[in-house]
A = this chain, B = another copy of it.
Amino acid sequence: MATSTVEDYLKQIFLMETAEGAGPLVPMGQLAQILGVVPGTATSMIKTLAEAGLVKYEPRTGVCLSPKGRKLALHVLRRHRMVELFLVKVLGMDWSEIHDEAERLEHAISDRVMERIDELLGRPTLDPHGDPIPDAEGKMGRRELVPLVSAEGKGWVEVARVKDQTEVFLRFVDRNGLKPGRRLQVVAVDAVAGVVTVEPEDGSPLSLGLETAGRIEVEQRTVGVVDEG
């Protein structure tokens, strides 16, 4: 069995590989930084993983997952996201406090328990942040999402995904009615000022920096216009 450290490495490589704007190989320094270890540690760990056939390692360039490693990574990711949804749906926790919990539980949950949770939740495909939950075989549904700025003037659109798991940000998003499932209009995008103005359905209009707006994605198609009294 893979140790929880190994699971963390694989999961993180997967996330970095599939992040937008990522090259074909994940550089050591970046990986080390995200995992909170010094670069040397990452290098030696990656060499071990390479020997185990879980990653392909290109010295002085970076790593990528092997098919075997990807499968394991998806397995971990499935547990992580399923646990997050479980904590919110079944235990009623706030979505801002679930990430760290899931980070620990993802290594302790058996396939048997996962199956029960999956069933209890009705075979869900999305976690509370709008990220896809891989199925037991590692397959994830793909959605066509666009960043907030691309929805300027398109009328009412639905928030689909929030790509930032920090507590403060998630609380901010919640307070302002920007959670996945909520509707909003992108009123204006001022590229020069770097400000995006949105009008959430339930919540007062507000301005976001371009960076911040980039962490929120919406469904591409426009949703039915709501009658504004």
Contact = CB atoms under 8 A, between A and B. Distances in A.
A120 B91 contact: yes
A104 interface: yes
Given A87-B113, A113-B87, A104 B93 contact: no
Interface in A79-96: 87, 90-93
Contacts of A120: 90-91
Contacts of A109: 105
User: In the complex, which range does the number of interface residues on chain A fall in?
Assistant: 10 to 19
A1 B105 CA distance: 16
A112 interface: yes
A109 B86 CA distance: 14
A219 B67 CA distance: 57
Contacts of A108: 104-105, 107-108
A90 B90 CA distance: 9
A117 interface: yes
Given A87-B113, A92-B116, A93-B116, 9 more contacts: A90-B120, A91-B120, A93-B112, A97-B112, A101-B110, A101-B112, A101-B113, A104-B110, A107-B108
22 contacts: A87-B113, A90-B90, A90-B120, A91-B113, A91-B116, A91-B117, A91-B120, A92-B116, A93-B112, A93-B113, A93-B116, A97-B112, A101-B110, A101-B112, A101-B113, A104-B108, A104-B110, A105-B105, A105-B108, A105-B109, A107-B108, A108-B108
